[in-house]
Structure 1
């Protein structure tokens, strides 16, 4: 038989190690409830508030300039007859804005494709090829991530002046490629390094060269990371104004610079500014949703690894 003192000591111990409910602190209870339906509703409400300016821009781009100057865009709910496609007709017939739009395409697409191609090749080399100084060179590439763009503006301007690249689309593209490569190499190298070595060795035993392994094995497996890089690079170049404002002239300026020049006379050309701004906004959104599935896969893969 056990004494009452021993039983009194044993019972709390059994409660601590057994099935008794453990009391949680206030912070843990708050964290446990963050996945509830009320929080989801709150996040949806916040997202809708974030979308209000975008929706207002869309409505403003579909209203007559006189209506825009006389009342706010929300008046369209009581007067839906104000909506018209006339502003977009004027935008499409504006040669300067259309030229700026296509200049943006000629700048963004090559900058994105070149960064993906060169960055993926360099990332494969850093991940799977052995050569002297590989790790030190990779550390240099990582160090370039912290170099701000503003540091290179004056030296690159002098270089472009000597090579006659100042005021050209080629000069803007080369600048974006140069500053996009460090992040591309860093991102893709870490992702490629997670590919099983046995898979690459099997391809090499089948007679595959490094280029064959890269294009037929590494690139298909690295598609989620490449899609993430494509989204980041495309959005950065498409929305850039600083680089284009310095290195592009009137014939090569992108849409961001053209819209910035239009804002000086906003009261007189709102019928061009509003649809142009929405056009500049909707293209990156379309690119993001087009690569969204691969982007989510890349984020989840990186989280699991």
Structure 2
């Protein structure tokens, strides 16, 4: 079944052309089943690119999704038109004050990983968001810096700066084949990585959390936090085929020292077209997450957070 999006959201036309099942609000209201409400708290500067990437993944499931876009209340983006933000996004304070419930919430990464958490301008509001998920969201998915922020807030696990950027497509091991979130996964998985920080396996495990996917080179990747009904992923299954190329080309153009992303271009040659070798596992992971939400969330959405 389709994902429900405003018909004038840019992602609607993009996904419709790609064959993803999308539906406008008026058509969706004529159906009798309850849509799953999935929110995207979008902290990335390129809002349209990010919302399209996540809508593509959660819109590929056989369930109908009511996709809600949320932003930090006081933070103003410099990379996305104000008209787009005003039309499609709601500030978190509005969502919070309305008392709304969500079946799922994705908290994206943000290009601020060099800063201590407490120095991020919207950190106080983000901690309110994370606490709010415990009463108003059935399952939360923290991505990259968003996942690091959640695991730090709930468990005090620190992030550590790396000497050089982890950048490329790295092999990760499936460490929990029986996990419902890894149904259909191969024994090892290629995942795009782009970060200057890491979470360490011993500190994650000392917090009582389960590492589902990880690698010797890149450390923990996917972590389950049962107590907070959350998943944390520190890498980027949602990336498009050309996202790492865009980051590499940007740094080269700006004169920023950067290594060619490993295992991304054929023969590691940036003049060649990169190949997408993670798309199927990306759909598996987010499809499994949506399915787990569907199987366990209350039919009466008002009951979320009450038990």
- TM bracket, shorter-chain basis: under 0.3
Which structure is higher in helix share?
A: 1
Which structure is higher in strand share?
A: 2
Greater Cα radius of gyration, structure 1 or 2: 1
Higher relative contact order at CA 8 Å, sep ≥6: structure 1 or structure 2?
Answer: 1
